[in-house]
Structure formats: C-alpha cells, structure tokens
Structure 1
Amino acid sequence: MRGRTVRGAAAAGAVLLALVACTSTEPEHDRADDVVVAVGSPFLSLNAGTAAGLAPGSTLVRGLVQSGFTSLEEDGSVVADPSFGTVEVVDDEPFTVRYTIAETARWSDGVPVTPADLLLEWAARSGQLDEVVPEIGADGLPVDPAALDDVVAFAATSPALVHATAVPRVDGATVTVVHDRRVADWQVALDVNLPAHVVGRLALDPAAQTTDDPAPTGAGTVPPTDGPTPGATATGAAPGGTATGAPATTEPAPGADPTAVAADAARWAGAVQTAVEEQDRDALVDVARVWRAAGTAGDVATDPVLTTTTGPYVLAQVDDDGVLAVPNDAYAGAAPAAYASVRVRTDLDPLAQVDAVSEGGVDVAAPLSTGDVLAAAAQVEGATVLTGGDAVLQLVLQEGGGGVFDAAASSAGQATAARAAFVATVPREEVVTRAAEPLWGDATVSDEVLAEVALGPLPSGEGTAATAAPTAAAPTGTATATQAPTAPGADGLVVRLLANTDDPVRAEALEVVTSAAADAGIEVVVAEVEDPAAALRTEPEAWDAALVPVAQEALGVSAAVARWRTDGATNVTGHADDALDEAVDALDRAVDADARADALGAVAEGLRASGAVLPLVRTPALTLVRDSPVAGLPTPAGVPLLPPARADLTSWWGWVRG
C-alpha cells in the first residue's frame, strides 16, 4: 500500500540523514501517510435513510467508510462490488431480486454482514411495518418526532422498496426480495446501511441503556442546502491537528473473548431478524426508534459502537472540525485503504481552505467556487486547480398556485402562451457566459432535464436521442440579449422569479433573465419569500418561475417520477400531462439497460417539448489539489473534481484506496 511504502522510505531516509548530517533541521511537516481534505459541508449522519444522512457532507464521508453491493456513478451507471456480494434479477413475474452476501463482507468490528442487515433495511425503507405516516416538514424531517417513539415508525419509506410488500426470504447468505411490479431502480433499491447487531443491542438489550454506552439521541439537524454556508477561519483548528472529540474504536474491549463477542453480535442480529420476520411489534417499536436516530454525528462522536461500517476506512474521531478515518482492519474487500488516515475538515471557510493548501495543512480542498476563491487558488504554488460542473441549474415554471402560468387562473391557451413567451426570452448562452464561464472556462449550455438521474448526458437507447433538442414548436430558450423575441402573451406579463441570490451564479443568472425578458416586454421581479428553498416546496402561490440547482439522487428514476408525474410527491410546479405520465410510468418499470435508456429519452423529450423545464448550465465546482512533492507531506495522485451534487461519492475516493 502507498502508506506503508512512504512510512518505510521516510524511516530509512531519517536514519541516513542522521548518519551524514547530524545538524540537519527537522522537516516542517510529518504526515506523509496522512491525507487531509477540506470541504464546506459538515458530516451529519451515517444513516443513508435519513435527511441528515443524505446531506452532501454525510454522502462524502459515507463514500469513504461504507461499502455495499453497488455504488452509483455521476452518469447514473451502477457499479457492482463482487467482493461484497451480488444483486441479480432471478424472476420477472413476479419481479424478484436476489442478494447474495460474499464471505468477505464484514463490518469494521469484524462481525460478518448477514441477511439480518438487509432485513433491517427492508423494514426501515419499505414502509410495510410502519404504523403511522409522519407529517414531514420543509426540512425533510418529521414535524413531531416524539410522537413516533411509541409506535413502529421508521419514517423512511423508499419508493424503490414500497412495492416489496412481503417480508424477504432468507436462505443462508442470500436474501430474496419480491416486488409487486418491476422497479427501475432495482440495482440500488436495497443495500446495507446500519449494522443489525448494533441496532439490535441498543434497542433490545436493557444493559445497553447506560451512561457509558448511551442510546442514540438523533440530535443531528440538516442545514439549508441553498447558498454558501459560512465557515470558520483558518485558525479554527490546526491543519491536520488532533481532533478533540471522543476517540472511536470498533475493536472489542481488551481481553474480550472473540468467540463470545461473535456470539453476542449474532444474538442481537438474530433478534432483529426475528422481530422483522415475525413482525414482533414490541421489539420493532424499539428497533425503529434506535434506527431513526442512530448514526448522527453527535452520537457517533460519543459512542464508538456507532461508527461500525463496512468500507476500507472507519471513523476514529468525529468533532466540530470534521472527521478522522483510519484503515478498517476487518476490511477484506477489493479496494483497501492506501493511507494511514484521512482527515475530512469542515471548519474552514472557502478562502481559508485555499490558504491551508498553500501552507501545507490541507492536501485537497473543494471550496465553494467564487471569483475571489478561484483567483486565490490559482496563486497556490505546487497545486492543481480543477474546475468543472456540479448541479444542473434549471428554470422551472409554476403551473399551479394561481399565478400567471396557471391555466386555472386564466385559460389553458393564455397560460400556455405566457409560458412559451417567457421561456423563449431566456438567453441560455448568455447565462453560461456571464454566470458560469468566469468560474469554469469550459462551461456550456446544459440540456440535462433529468439531472436527478445523471448530472451529465443521459445514455441513448436505440432510436431515441436522450439529449435531442426541443421540437420546433416548443420554446427553445435560446434568445440573445440583442435580439429578443416578440411572442403572443409577452406584453404586460409580470413573472415572480424565485432564486437564492446569496449564490453568485444564480444571482447573475437572475440578472441575465430579467434583462432579456424586459427587452421582450416581460417584467421579472424577485419573488418575495423568507426562505427560497422552503418556498419552492411549500409556497406555490408565491412564485411563477424558479432558478433551481438540481442534484443527482440516489434513486434517480424514482426521484424523476416523483418530480414530474402528475401529483408526484415532489412535483413542486404542478405540471400535469397525461402523455408525459405514460412515459414516466414506462420509465418507472424499465429494468434492463436498453429499455431504461429509451424511456429516459422519451421522458426528457416530453419535458422539453412541454416547456415545463429549461436546463441552463451546470453550476461551477472547484477542487484544489496540492500535488507537488513536499518533504513530510503526502502527494495525492489521481484526485478528480469533487462535485457535491453527486448522490454517491464512493468512486471519488478511489485515490485513497489501493
């Protein structure tokens, strides 16, 4: 491994220098096998089934410390990990998926991954055992979490598992899940998340409820995802310094009998499996309560047991400055750790991240990209600046809420004409030039309307171009500032545009859209709301159009269905289209690659033709890599751009694996 080679070389070099130059000074740095990464989003939770666990900072850390059957790439493709196990469709009617756990799949405490771990996740994500459906607030969290403590309520139903209504069948190391219908996201619908033996002990063992070994509290909160988040200064903690949180270890207590430890783990995992299979309500109430809360950053920092994961690294410390991960000695998979430690710092503001790279305290930084940050990064000697695309900035129109694009407030003809007139004024090339190119020289107009599936171009099926241009009859959004179109419905139109103007890219795009619309006789005003991110979901009457950065989702097809089907769970625009619904339903059941590609193309084409959404450009992302050799520091190689909008960052961490 890279880390061991560096340590050996450093030791040999130190002996040689001592022999020939006793008066030499000590190196300024001494962490050649310890890499430090700085980002702006905090780690909140290891639980991928919660809003906190899906936050960008949590996704980044989980990609480092968790392995599973599959991982998801930026283009929406699924990558299998045979060293963990296999996922395969074994029957089409009824649609049946079989999971086979490999012998090399182990938790970081040495306990084998078992079917109980998958049964726990099925119970949590299928919704079949939940006794109540909690009210969810604009922040994605239950409005009254305390009301869930006395009922079976995992409160994390996944659209990819909701049709798996029967308890999965267990046979040795295999788990068979039967769905009532085909599920497009079947490859990523179910995977290990929290360890059943840990959750089982915390939930069902009275001895676990002590002050020395507390039950999870679920104290993590999800910060707003729109706009930059203020960070600390470079003095918040010494770069690469020792964390102040409680040290975590997943090893058994000294002197513990390994056989007894294994038997105890099997006992509690078995208790969870029995509770799920027999639908033991009393046990499930406690299991659900612990599952909802387990894995939050605050609890992980105080209870080492809650750091138990399956990847090549395991969390050793969690504190206000970030996390520290070390090699997982129990890992037997295909991509072992290559460094002695990986520190992820979240305590530095964007400019402080750049300074830390320059001073040798940070090796890789992914700060929020702004003009001053990019300029500062370009001045760092011995470092490479990577720029590229992140979330897709889209313009969406509100077709409900009684606004100017709502047919119920005027007529279908008037609303359609107004939508077409407004969208046709949008100069996408100018948005790219003014909002994105200053931060990303290679920025181009984006055609990705299904960014929740893939941030880049979608794969094309035979006979269907997924990135085809809009039809001639549809608004194209290609106007220029010097030649604005004149279209019926434009004169006197006032459009309330929802945008987070704290984001410089959206602020500049807003100015471009406003100016171009004015040339066509349309007045664009900023929607007056207290919180743009919340208003997008909860105040349809307050806006007519919105500039929305769309991130990739872990269940891409399910997310697209929820967003664009009539009355879909996340359909914030009120768009309704019978023909599109048919295409969306076909996509939701497309399980092989060719059918999926064709269905994605059909949905994308339908959305463009309807004028429901206009993609503009991918928002710029920035990564700074210190890649020139410096004595006493690691020299990271092969570090790619870090796009925070990715749903899964497992492959981004390839450079810290052997």
Structure 2
Amino acid sequence: MKIARLTAGVGIVAVGAIVLAGCGNPYESEVVEGTEITVAYNSGFFHFNDDSGAGNNTANGNVKYMTDTGFSYYNNTPELVHNEDFGSFEKVSDDPLTVEYTITADAVWSDGVPIDEADMLLQWAAISGNVTDAFAPAATTGYALVTETPEIDDKKITLVYSEPYVDWELVGPLGVSAHGTYALAFPDEYADVQAAYDTYVGSDEEDDLTAYQDAAKEFAETAKEKVVTAIQDGDEEVLSALGEAWNTAYGYTTLPDSPAAALTSGAYVIDDIVEDQYITLAANPLFTWGPSPKFEKITVRTITDSTTALQALEAGELDIWTGQPTADILALANEIDTATVQTAVQASHEHVDLTVNNGGPFDPATYGGDEAKALAVRQAFLKTVPRQEIVDKIIKPLQADAEVRNTHLVSPADTERYPVLSEANGSADYAEVDIDGAKALLAEAGVSGPVEVGFWYPEGNVRRGQEFELIAASAALAGFTLVDESEPDWLFTDPAAVPINNHDATLFAWSQTSLAVGGSDQIYACYSDPLQKGGNYNGYCDEDVTATLLELNKTSDFDAQTDLLEQAETGIWADAVSLPIFQFPGLLVSSDQVSEVKSMPLSPDYFWNYWEWTPVEAAAE
C-alpha cells in the first residue's frame, strides 16, 4: 500500500489467474534511438528506496517501477504476471511454508555488478525486522513471518515461514542493492569506485566507463560478503550503519553525487533530476531480463495543477497525464482534440486520519489519560465530516454513480464482502453529518470549544483544498476550529525525521498496489518503535485489532477471512481514528504522439506497461 500523492493492498479482492511472461527467446532491444516521452504526476520524486517508511510514496514508486526488476508484476486485468525473463519462485513445501527464489537471468545492477543472493538477503533483513531494528521499512507484512535467517546459494534464497502466509506470492525479495547500501554506509571504502565514476562522468569515454564498472565489481565482491556476514552473524555495528543508509541515504531531489545511491536493476537508469520540476530516465544499455521499452528517455514532470498539465498536453509539451480531477478538469480534457481520455474507478480511497499520540485534541494524554474523553472528541469530530457533501459536490460531477465509501479494509469493488462489512461495522454512526450529536458528545465529555485541530493536506492539491474547506465549515458548527497545516513535502510520513505525527488530522489516500488479502497491519497495527510503524502515521493501537489483522495474514479460508475482516472493521470504527470518504475517480489523458497507454486500477497506475508505450511515428514506420 502506498500513499497517493503506500506493500500489500488494503482492498480485498480474490487473487486472479497467474500469468507467465517471458518467451525464452534471445533478448532484442526495441528502444527507438532518439525518442523521448514526457509524462506527468502531481507530486515529485524524492526517495529512491520506496520500501522504506520515508520513501513509501506513489510518486517514488512510479519511478522505481521503471528502474527496478522484480519476480512479478500486475497487468491491468488485474492479474499477477510472473517475470520469468528475470527469475522464478516456487513453493516447495506447505509445512512449513517454504518458497525458493532463483534469479535465472544474467541480470546486473546498472554499474555492471551481478544481482544475486546478497541483494535478496538484505531485502529480507531490512523488511522483516528479525535481525535488527535499525531499518525502518514501510511494512513488515509477510517478511516478519520468516523468523530464521534464510538459506542462500548462488543467486538463490529460500524463505521459510514460521506460520502460513496467505499472500506469499506477493513477496518479492529484491529492493535496493546490497553493495550500494554498503557503499553509502561506509563511503570511505567506496572511494576508489567513486573516483573512477567521477573520471567517467568528466570524460564520457568508454574506457573510463569500463574502469568504473571494473572498480565497482571489485568493491562489490567484498561489500556483498560483508553484508551477508553481518546479517548472518547479527553484527549490530555494521547493521546499524546499513540501516541508517537504507533509511536515509536514498533520499534526494537532485542527482546524487554517489552512483551507489541510484543503482537500478531494471529497464531504465536515472539520467537527471531537477527538484520540484522533473526526473529523467534513460534506457539501461545493460538491461536484457524483461520486456524491452520503446522510448530511449522518459521524463516525469511534477505538475501539481491539473489545468497547467492539460495546457501542456494540448501544447505538445506533455504526452501522458493523470491526476485528481474536478468536473472542470474533465471538461477541459475532453476539449483537447489531440487527446485520448480514459476514465475509470481507481483502487485508491480518500480518508481522514486522527492522530492519537501527539498531545493534540484526539490524544488521551491531553485529558490526563482519559481514553473515554478522547474517544468522545474523536467521535464528535468525525460526525462533522460532510462525506456525502464532498461526494456530491466534488466527485459525482466526475462519476455520476459515486458513493461514500463505508469500509476501511475492503473496497466497493469487492461485491461480496463490502455489503457485509459496511452494514455491520459501525459506519452508520457517521452516515450523515450530525452537528447536534457532535455537540452533545463534547458536552458529555466536558470539553468546551473551540477545539483547535491542526489539519494537514498536500499543499497545491486543488481537490483536497476543496475538501478541507467543506470539512472546516462543517466542523466549525460543532465548535472545532481547523488550522490549515498544508505543506507539500509529506514530512509526517518519515518516521526517522518525524517519529510522532505533529498534525492532529491528515487527509490523503491509500493506493492499493496488489490484490493482497492481508497487509492491513501495515496501517492499523500497534507498534513500539516509531521506525517500525509502517503506515500507521496516527499512532493508533488497539491490541484486538492488531491480533485480528495478524491472524488474517495467515488465514486462507474465505469465510474465516471475512469474519476476521468484520472484527477488525468493527474495532477500527469503534475507536474513531479514521474515516473513509470516497473511492478515487480516475482520469487518464494521453496525446496522439504515443500509443498503448492503458489505464490500471492498481498503483503504479498508467506506468504499469511503460515498455509498451510506442512513439506513433515509430509505430507507423
């Protein structure tokens, strides 16, 4: 799950058929020399490690999807596709659940260093939390059940689960590189490679490129060995340094000085970054283990304003755009003669979270530890959120049949479970705005107004600005004063920089990245160390909800899953810590200069088939 601006999805949909990709024929590049495409997203890239808590954001995930390689991906059916051009994975035992991963391709990082078992072992160590607490992953779901250090062999890793895990097929043990992370943790040991890289950058000579790659390979042999040894021996000194680098050293908004911070395993490499403007990717000349892209370069522009984006597309300065549309934006898109407009409901949902551990109005500590009083204040506030008005005024002009979403854990697309959960989970208490009820709750709790609420939403997002105005006006009627704390950088999502969310309420969306059944513990489970909180940005903790969600992760029976979902849903609603509002209406606009642009309900949205994007002139030749 990634923030839409979270890796399991919160919407529950049965996993469909498995599709195999990879024809086994010799790789042949289809990159058309000199071609470049410019696309846009409403927020910019800022972190290369999107598996970390700090980097877990859709804008980063979009870029990483095009620069990374994995064992599988989703098509837009959606079906899980196994990338057999890169490797394979197989369940070799049910008791205990054992899965073996093998990298079958001669795959290398963008510096020429082989992708191997050390990289996969680091991914397990970083995300599982079973070796050290130095890493701050966005989620530990699945990995945490692999409690013993996995066995590794040449380009192989075997994960043995201590308990059943229903979504085992969605675990992909490859993230950032082991030797790159070691280089960032111990830069002095990387000095010779850095010097060779700097020489190559200054000369752009083939011989200097070879010298840099040779130096990187020599360094990597020792670095990978040290990473593996540290994990297997539990060397806390080395692991602590690796964790610090994994958490923070991949965060940047301009091209990093160290190539170790931008090593890619997929079809593209990072070519250039200009903060708040764009990131440009260039085709990776070493890539041979997946479908070949067509465009030599892809530039992802950061355009927060939808009107500006569509004006750029109409002027020929932009080829693909998606965003959070309003009725005016949809009308504007339809007026562009050279554009193709696609609309569909997305697997993202808007919600408001209330922070319960920051000393604010929703925190029991504010009332001397009085849980009941804090609960009453939270309930009162949520009763003022005009969900139906938001849907009617902002969403229905885009999607006439749009409805208020009344579940946290499943989407309305789940036609079997959604009616069951939404009917019994307690959402009926917030079906309509109830100002009198909110006032009564505050009075019974002995809380007098005005109650000041620091309210965050992403600055520059027009639709969320409109939502804020509607919420603020309604909440004021019950004695709540909303303070606009909008800012563009999502600082509260970085657990290393902001261990406790300083905003009392936040408005954003969860983007579903898979058809996972479990994984909601990423957002709603208790935690003791802020570095391990995943997506639980509001400090929520209900031991019963946590236990239920952890049980869900290992439950395969459909009816039992539904019972657990119902229990967790009821608990979350009873605690009044979050309020879903609506499912995202999607709008995808592409120019007549590119073909094969296809919408996708899951994140990474339209980027899912970037390798199929075809320059129209090239397609016509």
The alignment's TM-score, normalised by the length of structure 2, stands at 0.71
Q: Specify the alignment match of 2:440 in structure 1.
A: 489
Change (3 A) 1:594 1:272: farther
Change (3 A) 1:37 1:171: same
| Structure 1 range deviating more: 405-414 or 108-117 | 405-414
| Structure 1 range deviating more: 37-46 or 557-566 | 557-566
Cα deviations by residue, 1:155-196 (Å, 9 ceiling, x for unpaired): 548523345443221133321233444455544445222233
Whether 2:514 is the aligned partner of 1:561: answer no
Q: Which amino acid aligns with 2:280?
A: L
Q: Which amino acid aligns with 1:615?
A: P
Query: What pairs up with 1:299-318 in 2 under 5 angstroms?
Result: 300-304=255-259, 306-318=261-273
More strand by share: 2
Deviation of 1:522 after TM superposition, in Å, equals 3.2
Q: Specify the alignment match of 1:159 in structure 2.
A: 140
Unmatched 5+ residue regions in structure 1?
8-30, 134-152, 216-245, 628-633
Cα distance in 2 for partners of 1:277, 1:472 equals 45
Cα distance in 2 for partners of 1:210, 1:56 equals 32
Q: Specify the alignment match of 2:176 in structure 1.
A: 194
Cα distance in 1 for partners of 2:222, 2:559 equals 44
Q: Is contact 2:426-2:570 (8 Å) kept?
A: no
Query: What pairs up with 1:465-484 in 2 under 5 angstroms?
Result: 465=418, 468-471=421-424, 475-479=428-432
Q: Specify the alignment match of 2:127 in structure 1.
A: 125
1:172 to 125, 134, 154: 154
Whether 2:555 is the aligned partner of 1:590: answer yes
Q: Is contact 1:426-1:478 (8 Å) kept?
A: no
Q: Which amino acid aligns with 2:228?
A: Q
Q: Using CA pairs below 8 Å that are at least 6 residues apart, which structure has the higher relative contact order?
A: 2
Whether 2:378 is the aligned partner of 1:429: answer no
Q: Specify the alignment match of 1:139 in structure 2.
A: none
Cα distance in 2 for partners of 1:486, 1:264 equals 66
Q: Specify the alignment match of 1:10 in structure 2.
A: none
Cα deviations by residue, 1:61-98 (Å, 9 ceiling, x for unpaired): 11111111233689997543233223444445555432
- Return the index of the structure with the highest Cα Rg: 1
Whether 2:316 is the aligned partner of 1:360: answer yes
- Alignment: residue pair count: 564
Cα deviations by residue, 1:269-308 (Å, 9 ceiling, x for unpaired): 4454344334556765665565455544467554556543
Change (3 A) 1:562 1:303: closer
Query: What pairs up with 1:261-300 in 2 under 5 angstroms?
Result: 266=221, 268-279=223-234, 287=242, 291-292=246-247, 295-297=250-252, 300=255
Q: Specify the alignment match of 1:231 in structure 2.
A: none
SS at match of 1:118: helix
Q: Is contact 1:65-1:314 (8 Å) kept?
A: yes
Q: Is contact 2:435-2:478 (8 Å) kept?
A: no
Change (3 A) 1:107 1:598: farther
Q: Specify the alignment match of 1:626 in structure 2.
A: 591
Cα deviations by residue, 1:224-263 (Å, 9 ceiling, x for unpaired): xxxxxxxxxxxxxxxxxxxxxx799998746669999867
Query: What pairs up with 1:70-89 in 2 under 5 angstroms?
Result: 70-71=72-73, 79-89=81-91
SS at match of 2:271: strand
Q: Specify the alignment match of 1:607 in structure 2.
A: 572
Unmatched 5+ residue regions in structure 2?
1-26
Change (3 A) 1:54 1:610: closer
Deviation of 1:325 after TM superposition, in Å, equals 2.4
Q: Is contact 2:96-2:160 (8 Å) kept?
A: yes
2:598 to 639, 648, 654: 639
Q: Is contact 1:418-1:489 (8 Å) kept?
A: no
Q: Which amino acid aligns with 2:395?
A: A
Q: Specify the alignment match of 1:385 in structure 2.
A: 341
Change (3 A) 1:48 1:87: farther
Deviation of 1:118 after TM superposition, in Å, equals 0.9
Q: Is contact 1:2-1:339 (8 Å) kept?
A: no
SS at match of 2:317: coil
How large is the RMSD of aligned CA atoms in angstroms?
Answer: 5.0
Cα deviations by residue, 1:9-52 (Å, 9 ceiling, x for unpaired): xxxxxxxxxxxxxxxxxxxxxx6x32211223222232233355
Q: Specify the alignment match of 1:333 in structure 2.
A: 289
Cα deviations by residue, 1:388-434 (Å, 9 ceiling, x for unpaired): 55742224556775858969779888877776676556553322011
Deviation of 1:625 after TM superposition, in Å, equals 1.0
Change (3 A) 1:259 1:522: closer
Q: Is contact 1:449-1:615 (8 Å) kept?
A: yes
Deviation of 1:551 after TM superposition, in Å, equals 1.6
Change (3 A) 1:369 1:288: same
Cα deviations by residue, 1:365-401 (Å, 9 ceiling, x for unpaired): 2356456655544443211334555742224556775
Change (3 A) 1:247 1:402: same
Query: What pairs up with 1:245-264 in 2 under 5 angstroms?
Result: 253=208
Change (3 A) 1:442 1:389: farther
Cα distance in 2 for partners of 1:475, 1:163 equals 36
Q: Specify the alignment match of 1:208 in structure 2.
A: 191
Q: Which amino acid aligns with 1:522?
A: A
Q: Is contact 1:470-1:476 (8 Å) kept?
A: no
Change (3 A) 1:257 1:75: closer
Q: Which amino acid aligns with 2:52?
A: T
More helix by share: 2
Q: Which amino acid aligns with 2:268?
A: Y
Q: Specify the alignment match of 1:580 in structure 2.
A: 545
Q: Which amino acid aligns with 2:270?
A: L
Change (3 A) 1:276 1:608: closer
SS at match of 1:53: coil
Q: Is contact 2:113-2:217 (8 Å) kept?
A: yes
Q: Specify the alignment match of 2:610 in structure 1.
A: 653
Deviation of 1:587 after TM superposition, in Å, equals 1.7
Cα deviations by residue, 1:129-151 (Å, 9 ceiling, x for unpaired): 54xx5xxxxxxxxxxxxxxxxxx
Q: Which amino acid aligns with 2:267?
A: P
